[in-house]
Structure 1
Amino acid sequence: MAKRLIPLFNRVLVEKITPPSKTTAGILLPEKTSKLNSGKVVAVGPGFHDREGKLVPVTVKEGDTVLLPEYGGTEVKLGEKEYHLYRDDDILGTLHD
């Protein structure tokens, strides 16, 4: 049975992007070559309500590539895949080509 996690409040479910371990020519790359700690947004919560009761939506959407903090997030394993759950305000930014 496939499970799908829908985050609550202002939480964001991210699948971290692992940099390639070798080049197309087959040269092995050292672990520290990845300069960015990034991931792809898999699911987002609806947001949270402020003091006036207005819904403050999450600033990222599913499919966005985001810059993540070096530490933080909660590790979540669904089936064979590993994800991380972050608060919207912990995400540092979005990455664009």
Structure 2
Amino acid sequence: MTEVKYYPLIDCDSEGTEKMPMFPVTESKSIMAQSELWLEELVPHHYRLYAKTKRPATAFSVRCPLCGKTMRCISRDINETKLGLYVCSSCTND
């Protein structure tokens, strides 16, 4: 079984629209307690965006944890805090 990874997100720009993942952690409770936004990697190279508060996923550009390129959103938000599913075109085409 694959271990679930969580990546806290930080701002890469002054507007707060460009997000970059930090180091991965495996403890969901710690990421939820310490981060406003994070990615969950349940399936390798597929990242679900989560937020503590209501936010539209379209408000952000999220970079890949592996290569740093901007990922694309391939699904809609599930609810107010479980946002879009992202994939990296560069990493999935290798």
Q: Could you tell me the TM-score, scaled by structure 1's length?
A: 0.25
Rg larger for: 1
Higher helix share: 2
Q: Could you tell me the TM-score, scaled by structure 2's length?
A: 0.26
Higher RCO (C-alpha 8 Å, min separation 6)? 1
